[in-house]
Structure 1
Amino acid sequence: MSGSLRACQGRDPQGVCGLESAELRRLVVYVHGRGGSAKEAEHYRALFPESDVIGFDYRSQSPWEAHEEFPRFFGERRGRYGSLVLVAHSMGAFLALSSLGKRHVDEVYLVSPIVDMEKLIRDMMARAGVTEEELSKRLEIETGFGERLSWKYLRYVRDNPIRWGVPTHILCGEGDDLTPVETTSAFAGQIGADLSVMRGGEHWFHTREQLRFLDAWLGRLKRAGLGSGECAASCSTRSTFPSTPRPRP
């Protein structure tokens, strides 16, 4: 099944998706963001032609749920392959960072990851005019912009900060409205990841131009030898690229 696509779509309760034994091959697992779909994994088939690519149709809505679901899913598959690469977006990236580690994945590509959930929650509280004292008393508060604030969630992310030691590459947009570039840059520095920023980009990479940029970013890492599971000399650095990459000479 080398190079073939197996995108989990909830049909397989075990999440196995018909994978064959592949001890010497690489598996790429795509984890979508909130409101996304495991079907989005199809985009990465051409980008990882030498690998098996699947999408993880997870059910977790919180980091404590992910702590149960994600290690089980990734652990089962890691043992079948020579290496496992994680590609994760937004909320999916946060859940993966909160629940996985070196035992589960060998290399990581994060697109617009949420890396400071406590800050994001506090920002939403400020937007909704909710104080921490009020939230602690009411436990849950519905906002006027479609989000539910949870005291349990805030306490959990505050008490369980992300600790990460897997070689990681991060891409974000200059105009990300959920996680500011400064926050992502600080996180990249903390974990020794390389960071690329798309000028004029946003949180959701979905337009033709943005997807071309994402593809070029992955290709650039591969050509530079940074997509091999090792964090090379450019780790902990930040690069900002224009919205339309220049053609190669």
Structure 2
Amino acid sequence: MKNAIIYVPGKGGSAKEAEYYRKFFNDGFDIIGFNYKSEKPWDAKVEFSNYFDSLISKYNKIMLIANSLGAYFSLISLADKKIKKAMLISPIVDMERLILDMMISENVSKEELRIKKEIETSFGEILSWEYLTYVIKDTINWNIPTEVLYGEKDTMTSIDTINNFVKKTNTNLTIMSGGEHWFHTKEQMEFLDKWFKSNI
């Protein structure tokens, strides 16, 4: 029975990005990009759970690689799945904090959001009362062996937030000095490759 690598892209990413990771594995691995449709966490919980359930019986071992929002959806959906290891790149690990930070930057109070239900931000994101109240109640409980790659200059997740997550979930953290949320430059991709090779 083969092993599988499941790649979950971030928002606006593509399942085709999974091909990047083929170079790290031999022919005994299927590399699968998960082209999920969910935009809300409650939808992701159903979609992600069903998708992984459909694959688990077909493979000996499954490794998860997840990026940004894809990592957040994985964290809230897959904690009880038979995943041997997870590799998380720039994961969103505290959605409540991220939304509250966006509200502060847009000068939107909780009361205003509660009344209006949805508010469009100056940077194109929609603040949603339903989304915020859901993520406040829906905490992450994760105990799968996990490696986290984080860029020092990540503007989505603060160093304190990532450190809190790492302590709570007993995961291993690697920080790239000067790295960003989106790993894309030659130097950043070389760092990612080294991190990945030494931790799989």
List aligned pairs for 1:99-248, cutoff 5 A.
99-221=77-199, 227=200
Distance 2:29 2:158 in 1: 32
User: What stretches of structure 2 of length at least 5 have no aligned partner?
Assistant: none
Please report how far the alpha carbon of residue 207 of structure 1 lies from its aligned counterpart in structure 2 after TM superposition: 1.2
Q: Is residue 173–residue 181 contact of structure 1 (8 Å, CA) maintained in 2? A: no
2:15 maps to 1:38: yes
Residue 25, structure 1, aligned to residue 2, structure 2: yes
1:19 maps to none
Matches within 5 A, 1:72-87: 72-87=50-65
CA RMSD of aligned residues (A): 1.0
Tell me the distance in 2 between the aligned counterparts of 1:219 and 1:91: 23
| TM-score, normalisation: structure 1 | 0.78
Q: Kindly report structure 1 stretches of 4+ aligned residues shifted beyond 6 Å.
A: none
In the other structure, the counterpart of 1:48 is 25
How far has the Cα of 1:217 moved from its partner?
0.2
Distance (whole Å) between structure 1 residues aligned to residue 92 and residue 165 of structure 2? 10
| In 2: Cα distance, 1:151 partner to 1:143 partner | 13
> CA offsets, 1:88-142, max 9 Å, x none?
0000000111111232422100000000000000000001110000000111001
Deviations 1:177-228 (A, max 9, x none): 000122112101110100000001000011111111111001112xxxxx3x
Q: 1:97 aligns with which of 67, 71, 75?
A: 75
Compute the TM-score of the two structures, normalised by the length of structure 2. Answer: 0.97
More helix per residue: 2
SS of 1:81's equivalent in the other structure is coil
The share of aligned pairs that are identical, in percent, is 47
**Highest RCO, 1 vs 2 (Cα 8 Å, sep ≥ 6):** 2
